Each structure stands twice: as structure tokens, then as C-alpha cells.
Chain A
């Protein structure tokens, strides 16, 4: 959080000294998008300079999605937010910083890329983990971040829940017990997705990492393909990380035009290709076809179909006293 404020401070400082030709753009994002936006910023910077002649200085801030949303609410002057889930953008909108109809301002629910949740296991899959059922086994240790602080963990939790509902024909009590049993196999709850990846990959804790698809591939790139394997469960969830312009901030800073174009350009051919290259699922059919082979073939359910949207899912599962809290009640 301090880092976020620092960046905002630096941005402000640099903004007052920079020439009119150069603009500052602060993108406040969630944990695993560092690599994606570093590459995208380069592409968008070139595109913007070519069309307008202006140079952009980009600032990126990354952290657990909920914490990032709170930083923006508390005054981090983000031009755009690119968060892990709609609920966190809604939280900012609820404070009047973003128009409440933000989700309809850009195509496909303002989510220019999608992702899903997969299993990352150790090479050779020594515990023979194939599907969600294996995660409740007593001999399997599962790594996932805390859904209270991590957007990715909320997707993990809901994917497990959706599988439970299907397995038990919609029986909520049995599903709750099933998800509870999975969480009882979790030895470390990190606060963000990147922390969990480190715990699993660097510290050697756990047999399965519930991970963003792109984060699982990143672990491949970082630590070598000879260490891990990706396992695709029979069912997972379609994650739509959303993007939005922070209206109040861009109007104050006069950066609305560039901020809007920054998000719109995410849907361009060039950006969709970068998205696919970074293991996010592109929306554009052309790019999707190009990178098809690199994505797991999983049946995906959506949050709207199974959970009736984020507001409802948040209230039932992750709010104070929700299903997640009940799992950690003593005697459970």
C-alpha cells in the first residue's frame, strides 16, 4: 500500500515538472498482471505517440485485488483500474469514483481478456491429483491464497464450490462441507496469488497449487518445465478480470482521453496478441485461435449462471459471517 502511495506521490511530482508533451498514466492492477502490462504499456505507448505525438510515462501498481481497490478508494490517483474481479471495481464505484454502469462501457463486460483456475502439481504428479475430488484427500496439501484478500482466491473458492454443486446435485450443505474439507488441507494462506505461487514453487510446500492459468504458465517459465505439471480439472470457472477508467481521477487530471483509449486499445489485434502470449485468454477469435493449443480444455461455468453475479456471491461466501468464515469456526 505504501508503495502505491509512493508511486502516486512520485507521479504527482513528475507530473508537475514534465512538459506538456508528456502524460502520466497510472494503472492500478492486481497481482499477476505485472508482465502483461509491462509489455502492453510499451505497445500502447508507441501506438499513442504515433497517433498524437504525445509520450506517455506509465506507472504500474500491483497487489492483492481488494487491497488495490481500497488504495484507490483511499486516494491513490489511478487513471485506470484493471482488477481481478467486478466486485472490487464495484467497491470503487460505490464510493462515487467510477460511474456505476462501468461494466457496460466496454465490450464483453469490460473484460478484454479472460482466464480460469487450474491445478499446478509437482512433476510426475506424485499424488495423482486429477480433479477437485482429489483435493479433499487427507494426504493432499493444497495451496491457495486467502479469499478475503485475494481476487484469485475468490475465483478458486467459487470454482471448487461450482464443482461441489454439480457433484452433489445442488445440495448446498454437502457442497459447503466439500469446500471446507479442501480448505482444511491448506497449510498456508498467503494474502495474494503471487505469494502462493512462491510458497508452492520456492518453498516446496503443498502438492497442488490452485492458480490462475497465466500464473501456472508463469511458474513454468520461471522455474522450468521439469519441475511442475499443469492439471486441468473437469470443471472450472470463467474468470473475467475487469478494467475501468476512474472517472473522478481522470477528470481531475485531464487524462480521460488517453485513459479511455488505453482500455479500448486492449481489444485491438496487437493487444490481444500480447494477451495470448502472456497466457491470458484473448477475446478476439483470431488471437484465441492462434493460442488455442496453449490453453487447457476445460468446461467453464460463469459466475452469473451459477452464483447470480459478484454482489450475491460476495455476500453469501466472502462477507463477514459468510460460508468462508463458517469453515474456520471452532469445532468445524
Chain B
């Protein structure tokens, strides 16, 4: 065994315990103050189910859009040299740094029927702000850097010569992309997807401004948790939080397994 294993493992567990496990554990303990019947009743009420469907559905959709367009952005930033590239590269990180409420208010101002973009869309009879579409837009905004920043370093390592070799061996461009580039990128793409998805499903600040927050229509699960807290119903709030955690955990685990599989396949 490599020396220092015991110490490193000890620090790891202590650190994870303080930062992650104890707060999450206290969540479950608080939720446990509800009886099993009350717990089930809380998490299966139509409003909670609708909000969970919305939160996870919109997050998946936003993460998928980010996976496609984020990888194109990463591709352009790595493979092409153009004036202002460094500036564009720096812009990518803005959604990381911007307070989410600011992002939410800015997006709402843009997409509201009297905003710059909303005005044009209104002419086509499309409404974005105060609908679930608005939620997806906000989630795409905050999730973009996760995909770009995970795909970028892998692309840098991926030699352009491999593509050239593929071409000289007679592959078409499409074949090169599908059989050579995507398999090499897949693990990174999935990581970016998972990060963007995880971030989006818990997102609160940017969404509540643009969502409209109508129960059963545009009310996200984190908002429902906050609402329950304001009604002094702590246990019900934590019950919704635990079910969100469980769903997130299962989905992230599935993505992890998929990623493992993709890595193995890539090594063959």
C-alpha cells in the first residue's frame, strides 16, 4: 500500500462528513419527524409531483441543449483561432460568477413581452417569460460553462492528426465525427451533462424571476420547498428536499455508470 493512505482516507472521510454527510443527514432526520403516511402524502400530492416533473424535466432538457451547443462552443474555441477568442473564452465563465438573481432578472427583462427579445417573440405569438420555456432558458444559461469547461481540455488533448488519419483511411467527415471524435469525447460530455443537470435541478435564484411560479404549471420544486418553509412547515419542506435528493442521486449514479461504460468502450 502507498504510504499515507490511512491519513489521506481519514481526512477524506472527516471532510466529507463535515461538509456533506452531516448536513444531508440532518435533512433526513428532520424529514423523519413526519410519520411514513404523512411523508408519502406530502411527496405524492399533485402539486409536489408536478413541481418535481417540471424541475427534473426542464433540467434534463436544458442539460441536453447544453451538451450539444456547449460541445460546439468548446470545439470552436479549441480548434479555430479567431480575433477575440480569448474574450469569448472568458465570457463562458460569466454564468459561474454572476449572482443567479441578477441572471434571472436580466433574462426576465429581456424575455418579458415588453423586453428586447420578448417583444419580437410576442409578434410570433411566442411567450417565453413566465412559462416553463423561460425556466429552460434560465437553466441553459447557468449550465453552459459546465459542459464547455469539461469538454475543452479533452478536445485540446485530442490531436487533430487522429482526424486526419481517419480521413486518409477513407472515412467520410460524418464517420470521423461519429466513430472517432464522439467516442473520445463521450465521457467528458457525460460529465458536463451530469454537472449541468445537477446544478439546474437545484437552481432557485435565476428561475423564480422568469418562471411565473404558478402551481401545477411553472412552480419548481425548490420554490415549493421555500414556500413550505415560509408556512413554518419545516418537516414537509425537508420531505420534498429528501425526495429531490434521492431522485438526483439515482440519476447521477446512472449517468456515472454510463460514463464508466463509455470510458471502457473508448479504451478498447
Instruction: Check if A and B associate.
Output: yes
Any A CB within 8 A of the CB of B109: yes
Q: Is the CB of B213 within 8 A of A320?
A: no
Q: Is the CB of A190 within 8 A of B112?
A: no
- Residues in B with CB closer than 8 Å to A188 are 130, 212-214
- Residues in A with CB closer than 8 Å to B108 are 203
Which chain B residue shows the least CB distance to A149? B230
Q: Mark B113-134, 1 if CB is under 8 A from A, else 0.
A: 1110000000000000110000
Binding site of B, secondary structure by majority: helix, strand, loop or mixed? Answer: loop
Any B CB within 8 A of the CB of A189: yes
Any B CB within 8 A of the CB of A204: yes
Interfacial residues of chain A within 59-75, with CB under 8 A of chain B in the complex: 64, 66-67, 70, 73
- Residues in A with CB closer than 8 Å to B175 are none
Interfacial residues of chain B within 75-121, with CB under 8 A of chain A in the complex: 108-109, 112-115
Q: Which of A148, A189, A319 touches B214 (beta carbons < 8 Å)?
A: A189
Any A CB within 8 A of the CB of B232: yes
Total number of A residues with any Cβ neighbor in B under 8 Å: 26
- Residues in B with CB closer than 8 Å to A191 are 208, 213, 226-227
Q: Is the CB of B112 within 8 A of A70?
A: no
- Residues in A with CB closer than 8 Å to B214 are 186-189, 328
Q: Mark B225-250, 1 if CB is under 8 A from A, else 0.
A: 01101111100100000000000000
Given contacts A188-B130, A189-B214, A328-B215, contact A205 B232 (CB under 8 A): no
Q: Which of A66, A204, A320 touches B112 (beta carbons < 8 Å)?
A: A204
Q: Which of B129, B213, B232, B233 touches A146 (beta carbons < 8 Å)?
A: B213
Q: Which of B114, B212, B229, B236 touches A187 (beta carbons < 8 Å)?
A: B212
Which chain A residue shows the least CB distance to B47? A328
Q: How large is the interface on B (under 10, 10 to 19, 20 to 34, 35 or more residues)?
A: 20 to 34
Q: Mark A167-211, 1 if CB is under 8 A from B, else 0.
A: 000000000000000000011111100000000001111000000
- Residues in A with CB closer than 8 Å to B216 are 328, 330
- Residues in A with CB closer than 8 Å to B208 are 191
- Residues in A with CB closer than 8 Å to B233 are 320
Question: For the complex, what is the distance from the CA of A78 to the CA of B130, rounded to whole Å?
Answer: 35
Any A CB within 8 A of the CB of B46: yes
Question: For the complex, what is the distance from the CA of A134 to the CA of B164, rounded to whole Å?
Answer: 70
Q: Is the CB of A148 within 8 A of B130?
A: no
Binding site for A on B (CB under 8 A): 46-47, 50, 108-109, 112-115, 129-130, 208, 212-216, 226-227, 229-233, 236
Binding site for B on A (CB under 8 A): 64, 66-67, 70, 73, 91, 146, 148-149, 186-191, 202-205, 318-320, 325, 328-330
30 contacts between A and B (CB under 8 A): A66-B231, A67-B229, A67-B230, A70-B230, A148-B227, A148-B231, A149-B226, A149-B227, A186-B214, A188-B130, A188-B212, A188-B214, A189-B212, A189-B214, A190-B213, A191-B227, A203-B109, A203-B113, A203-B114, A203-B115, A203-B129, A204-B113, A205-B113, A319-B231, A320-B231, A320-B233, A320-B236, A325-B47, A328-B47, A328-B216
